Chain A
């Protein structure tokens, strides 16, 4: 009896660790995944003999580390959600999680933040042009050293003396289109990278 209690405790601890790795996954899917793993454990124990802690250990070891298993499921689930939406709000948390254990993930996260940031500035620039027609837009000017600087200005401050606008009202359609393309391309590239490089320990 004591053996069975200890064995059951090990199973519950394993499933708790698994569930703890599923934050961000919708509750129904997370619960269903845990129940499926529980069913697998019960089937394996049934064929392995009486439920002792040693048998449970063997079954759980064959199943794999619960943290890795949970992470694998969570990443797949989040990637599927993100793929459906292409939304930066869905994609950035996945990249953030990836960056927490991988240098490649850090670079992809930084690249994605850069892409979304430029996309956001382009969008704002285009949207603010009608409200600040004299100051918002893409501006070029020479600084004190004579170097040419090109910058997006949102219209809250006057451009530097001698600056000239490059696109004029064209910033509205060009900015909106470029922002859309840039955000979509960044999402696509980030998802492709995450799928290609995500940790996967499929084979033994």
Chain B
């Protein structure tokens, strides 16, 4: 493996880790203000952010958030005749989302300052 391939691989891994780290916040944010089922959450993530999540893996993640008490769920009969599992933020989920959004805002603001001189140079 050449040096440039190794650098590319490290960059890819870094981006995956970065996106992975944001996913919990992204899901909590997608659930802000309503209850949604898995496919709707995926669509909100795709439409409102750059987080293209592999479809099936959203469900184990939602299950984990539920186990942590950050979301709750209920089955609702759909117009199509099959049931859908809807998720909504719990009180502690809302609190966690606000905390994470605050941390994100502070972090991105300080990073923006640091990265200022670099902007526009990588095109």
Q: Give the B-binding residues of A (Cβ under 8 A).
A: 29, 32-33, 35-40, 42-44, 46, 62-64, 68-69, 72-73, 76-77, 80, 200-204
Whether A202 and B53, one on each chain, are in contact in the complex, defined by CB atoms closer than 8 angstroms, is yes
Count of residues in B whose CB is under 8 Å from the partner chain: 26
- Taking a contact as CB atoms under 8 Å apart, the answer to whether B59 and A43 are in contact is no
A64-B57, A80-B64 known, 14 other contacts, Cβ within 8 Å: A40-B55, A40-B59, A42-B80, A43-B78, A64-B55, A64-B56, A69-B56, A69-B60, A76-B60, A76-B61, A201-B54, A202-B20, A202-B23, A202-B54
Which residues of A are found within 8 Å of B19, using beta-carbon distances? 202-203
- Say whether A73 contacts B60, CB under 8 Å: yes
**Which residues of the partner chain A approach B52 to less than 8 Å between Cβ atoms?**
203-204
Q: Is the interface of B mostly helix, strand, loop or mixed?
A: helix
* Complex: A80 Cα to B60 Cα, angstroms: 11
Contact A76 B64 (CB under 8 A): yes
CA distance A156 to B30 in the complex (A): 63
Looking at chain A's contact residues, is the secondary structure mostly helix, strand, loop, or mixed?
helix
A29's closest neighbor in chain B, by CB? B63
Q: Cα distance A201–B60 when bound, in Å?
A: 11
Subset of 18 A-B contacts with CB under 8 Å? A33-B59, A36-B38, A37-B56, A39-B38, A39-B85, A46-B80, A62-B55, A63-B55, A63-B56, A64-B54, A69-B57, A72-B57, A200-B57, A201-B57, A202-B20, A202-B23, A202-B53, A204-B53
- CB within 8 Å of A: which of B65-122? 67, 78, 80, 82-85
Across the interface, which residues of A come within 8 angstroms of B67, CB to CB? 76-77, 80
Distance of A33 Cα from B61 Cα, bound (Å)? 12
Q: A43 contacts B55, CB within 8 Å?
A: no
List chain A residues, Cβ under 8 A from B39: 40, 43-44
Q: Assuming the A-B contacts A42-B82, A200-B20, A202-B23, are A73 and B54 also in contact, with contact meaning beta carbons closer than 8 angstroms in the complex?
A: no
Choose from A33, A39, A73, A201 the contact partner of B83 (Cβ within 8 Å). Answer: A39
How many Å lie between the Cα of A69 and that of B63 in the bound state? 13
Q: Point out the residues of chain B lying under 8 angstroms from A204, CB to CB.
A: 52-54
Q: Which residues of B contact A201 (CB under 8 A)?
A: 54, 57
For the complex, give the distance between the alpha carbons of A127 and B41 in Å: 54
A46 proximity list for chain B (CB < 8 A): 80
Contacts of A40 in B (CB 8 A): 38-39, 55, 59
Count chain A CB atoms within 10 A of each CB in B51, B52, B57, B85 and give the residue with the most.
Answer: B57
